[in-house]
Amino acid sequence: MQESPVQARFAHLADLHIGAWRERMLSALNMTAFSETISACIRERVDFVVIAGDLFDGNLPDLGVVREAVTHLKRLSDHGIRTYLTYGSHDYSPTGTSIIDILASAGLFCRVTPEGDWQRADGEGLRPPFVVDQPTGVKLTGIYGRKNGLEAALYQDLDRAWLEEEEGTKVFLFHSAISELQPVGEQFEEGVPLALLPRGFAYYAGGHIHTRISERVDGYGTIAYPGPLLGHQVRDLEALATGAGRGFFLVTLQEGEATSEFIPVHLPDVIIERVEADQKSPTEVTALLEEVRNRLDVAGAIVLLSVRGTLSSGAPHQVDVKEVRRQLEADGALVVKISRSGLRSPAPAGRVIAGENREEIERTIFAESTGTFSPDPRVTDGQARGVLMALTGEDGVSTAVKLLAALEDEPREGERKDDFNHRIRGGVEPLLRHQGDC
**Residues identified as active-site:** 90
User: Alpha-carbon distance 411 to 182, whole Å?
Assistant: 37
Helix ranges restricted to H, 84-231: 99-105, 152-156, 160-165
Q: Which of 71, 89, 18, 79 is nearest to 49 (CA)?
A: 79
User: Alpha-carbon distance 370 to 404, whole Å?
Assistant: 14
Contact 13, 50 (CB under 8 A): yes
CB neighbour class for 24 (10 Å; exposed up to 12, middle 13-18, buried from 19): exposed
User: Alpha-carbon distance 177 to 52, whole Å?
Assistant: 12
Q: Which residues contact 276 (CB under 8 A, 6 or more apart)?
A: 308, 309
Q: What share of the chain is helix, strand, coil (3-state, %, to 5)?
A: 35, 25, 40
Which residues partner with 313 through β-bridges?
A: none
